Amino acid sequence: MRLFSFPNPVNELAARTVAGVVLVISIATLVLSVTAGDAWLWVTAALAYGFVARVLTGPTLSPLGTLAMKVAPRLGAARPVPGPPKRFAQGIGAVVTVTAVVLLAVGRPGGTQLLLGAMIVAAGLESIAGYCVGCKIFALLMRIGWIPQETCEACNNIGARLEERSRVAA
């Protein structure tokens, strides 16, 4: 495996595990920033590192990604989903959290808190309900032609996805 690669397919259970930990860290950071002071918002830098690491290398350089890869098999049978939409979603998380850190660095902690709120919503939907906001945006961008169809052949071929799921389940 190359260093700068992203898994395809991705185990949905691993992705949801990552989202669950991001959810908990985001909630804790936001609550601590409100109750104990803005210094807690610097935890957002660790979230930003994780998103950037996962976009660039998948779980390879992400401690959270590596942990999720070890935990996911204990949660049940692998549920493969296409990798490109998950990478896109990680990219959105990277943009949001890096922006949150920049806002904090320039003295705008309220903006950081607002972006942490957005992370809580997105990570909560992914981890609890299995609804990936970034994946839905990716699909929309494919439909309107902003992302080429060949970027994710599996995204276009529902039959192949269903066949893969049934093969893995067997």
Per-residue pLDDT, 167: 55
Q: How many other CB atoms are found less than 10 A from the CB of residue 32?
A: 15
Per-residue pLDDT, 88: 96
What are the per-10-residue average pLDDT scores of the chain (170 residues)?
A: 82 94 97 95 96 93 88 86 95 98 97 97 97 95 92 72 53
Q: What is the pTM of this model?
A: 0.88
- Cα 41 from Cα 169, distance rounded (Å): 42
Give the largest CA-CA distance in the chain. 54
Helix, strand, coil tally for the chain in percent (to 5) = 80, 0, 20
Parallel, antiparallel, or unpaired: how do β-strands 80-81 and 10-11 relate? antiparallel
Per-residue pLDDT, 160: 52
Is the backbone peptide bond immediately before 9 cis, with ω within 30 degrees of 0? yes
Per-residue pLDDT, 74: 85
